[in-house]
Amino acid sequence: MSHLADLDELAQGDLSGRRLGRYRIRHKLAEGGMADVYLGQILGEKGFERWVAVKVVHPARTQDPQFAHMLADEARLIGRIHHSNVCSVIDFGIDQGLLYLVMEYLHGETLKAAMRRGWSEEGAFPAWLAARAIADAARGLHAAHQLTDREGKSLGLVHRDVSPENILITYDGLSSVIDFGVLRARGRRAKTAAGVVKGKLSHMAPEQLRGDPVDRRADVWSLGVVLWESTLGRRLFRGENQGELVEKVALGPITPPSAITPSYPRELEEIVMSALNRDVSERTPSAKTFAHQLDKYLHGLGRPAGCAEVSRWMQSVFSDRLMVREELLVAPEDSGPLTLGIDDDESSTNASIAGPVGPTSFAPPLPSDRSGLTAVDTPAARAKAQSADPGNEIDSALEELRRKDRQRSAILSVAVFVAIGLALALGFVLLR
């Protein structure tokens, strides 16, 4: 058996329990056509440990110099980005003939999984949550777009594959951009061959499809597609084949969201349509501007729509998968292979998302709504929510104490006035 065949047999199994470099491989998280992702550990002195995600490349790809250069570029460039909304790259290496990339472990689910879980099990995916997650991702992309070389010159980095699969929402409510595998940047060693298009056609900017030069505004277009789809519950561009899909992305009509859902907020529609302008010079100029526009929109909703609210929704809707992920972090090393399994939400990239979009989809949950799901803001709903909130019981008790204090103060004041009046009257009688 050849060395490559040995590697293939090794990689097609489960690497749990093995070591790659200084990393202990614990459990398989996901399988892919080019690489598998494992939950790994860095073990140090005095009980130090850190969880990481280890992407292990399939051996056939390891032998491909072009792919190896592409992965090395991703590690070299993204390893220089330090931003809370970008999944950081920690290490890159080869051991036992296996090429691997070590990344920050993000305890959460992709936006794609959240969308599918919301529609399939909850009957709705909150538009406010989509706006919050995409605003976070836009800030991470802006940090990548701003990357410079040692002389301070822009590297012109473009992600080129922004999609719901590459935005990850943690159970703490923060969203990050992941997988810069097809990025474009000045000075990159691995080049895309002429005529080869990399990325997902349905989320790709028209200029990228045409093979024209692209800049950060191509990622803004992709963010616009993701926002359109995640707030409307359907695909923006669909085709029976790749040729038809390409034609629709390049030339097809872009339906304004309000034409589908009359209750769609005007301000949010303006943000979406500005990002989806095929004229690059008229498109939203940067991911930073896009994030600021979404922040302004969310602030105008008048309710909190931050990490706490996103976290509450994620932990409620993904309670089953959260339980499994938590178990992976505490399972002993001798527990044998444990896998997270593939969520039904991730079964098909091309499956449509579908569901009715109502006006309450755009409103963040009431602060007292423990589920994190969108609530209807009516007087009856508010009264019910307030009665169900233990915090309101404390407020009511404090208010009752204050009321009694006010009553006692009033009684005491009246008594003092009466006493003074009686004293004055008695003095007047005595003087006479």
Active site residues: 161
- How remote is the C-alpha of 291 from its chain's centroid? 13
Q: State how far the Cα of 125 lies from the Cα of 232, in Å rounded to an integer.
A: 9
- How remote is the C-alpha of 110 from its chain's centroid? 7
Specify whether the CB–CB gap between 168 and 106 falls below 8 A.
yes
Nearest CA to 226 out of 133, 309, 142, 308 is that of 133
Torsion (CA) 286, 288, 294, 298 in degrees, nearest 10: -170
Bridge partners (DSSP) of residue 158 are 184
Nearest CA to 219 out of 163, 267, 276, 162 is that of 162
